[in-house]
């Protein structure tokens, strides 16, 4: 595969992983359609890509929209389809994360509803919206930004992990039903990445994380090479372990993560 001349739609692209991926895709010659709520930041990302002047032929266009609003999502799909005769890749990258224990969520069903609205429902709506164009042109690829936390049990992120697991299942269903028609998906399992979303948790200030630029390269690989998944070795070990010794993993991993969080909290308190 080559990305030169391809049209790539990427959500959550006003900052962080999405903005970095948009720049890298444009550097490879793709036309990138950036979707996010914050129009001013989208314009800055587009301006940065335009000013890059790498000479690869890549372009960037901003499509501000609130993807939790179904009507706004339908409208942005229509705009992109009207502007671009071909849409080659859809990267569902926009996400919301909530760090809260299940016991603290018993009166907060809205935490789960809000997380599902952007992480799952919006991504499904976008995919369904572009699916007829994929059929018409005879190909299409959907990339899912997911998390290593779906590969082994992680405490405190039940709303986030559940929404990502649901989207992964949707992506696998697309492959099962449509891969023979050249409509395929890739699931990208990210580790912790240093973004606005992760920085909202003060306890993670001292945690070593992947940079947005490195995470973006995982998305570019998914869009270009189109494997079934892009994952780190640790995540693959987690999957194999959960398949073979789930009782051990379920007992050990959450305990280790709780211990890590206590150490991070102590480190933050003492500088």
Condensed to tens digits (0 to 9), the pLDDT of residues 105-139 reads 999 999 999 999 999 999 999 999 999 999 999 99
Q: What is the pTM of this model?
A: 0.93
pLDDT in tens, 4-16: 999 999 999 999 9
Q: Average of pLDDT values for 29-56?
A: 88
pLDDT at 54 over 60: no
237 vs 260: CA distance, rounded Å: 19
DSSP state of 36: E
Fold of 7-269: Rossmann fold (3.40.50)
260 vs 49: CA distance, rounded Å: 38
Provide the 3-class DSSP secondary structure of residue 15: coil
Provide the 3-class DSSP secondary structure of residue 131: helix
pLDDT of the residue at 271: 59
Task: Report, as residue numbers or ranges, the catalytic residues.
Answer: 160
Q: Domain extents for the chain?
A: 7-269
261 vs 207: CA distance, rounded Å: 9
Contact partners, residue 233, CB within 8 Å, separation at least 6: none
- pLDDT band, very low/low/confident/very high, at 1 (cuts 50, 70, 90): low
Structural tokens at position 191: 């580790």
% of the chain beyond a pLDDT of 90: 85
pLDDT of the residue at 199: 66
């Amino acid at each position: 595969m080559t990305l030169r001349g391809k049209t790539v739609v990427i959500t959550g692209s006003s900052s962080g992983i999405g903005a970095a991926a948009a720049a890298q895709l444009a550097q490879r010659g793709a036309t990138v359609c950036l979707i996010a709520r914050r129009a001013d930041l989208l314009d800055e990302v587009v301006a940065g890509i335009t000013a890059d002047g790498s000479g690869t032929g890549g372009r960037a266009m901003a499509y501000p929209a609130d993807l939790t609003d179904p009507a706004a999502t339908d409208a942005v799909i229509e705009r992109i389809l009207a502007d671009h005769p071909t849409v080659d890749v859809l990267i569902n990258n926009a996400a919301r994360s909530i760090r809260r224990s299940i016991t603290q969520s018993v009166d907060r069903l809205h935490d789960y509803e809000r997380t599902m609205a952007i992480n799952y429902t919006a991504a499904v709506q976008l995919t369904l919206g572009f699916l007829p164009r994929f059929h018409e042109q005879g190909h299409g690829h959907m990339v899912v930004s997911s998390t290593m936390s779906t590969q082994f049990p992680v405490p405190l992120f039940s709303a986030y992990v559940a929404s990502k697991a649901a989207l992964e299942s949707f992506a696998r269903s697309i492959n099962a039903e449509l891969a023979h028609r050249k409509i395929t998906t890739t699931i990208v399992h990210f580790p912790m990445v240093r973004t606005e979303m992760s920085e909202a948790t003060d306890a993670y200030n001292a945690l070593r994380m992947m940079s947005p630029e490195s995470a973006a390269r995982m998305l570019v690989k998914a869009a270009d090479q189109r494997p079934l998944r892009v994952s780190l070795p640790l995540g693959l070990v987690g999957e194999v372990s959960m398949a073979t010794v789930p009782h051990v993993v379920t007992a050990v991993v959450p305990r280790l993560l709780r211990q890590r969080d206590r150490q991070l909290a102590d480190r933050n308190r003492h500088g």
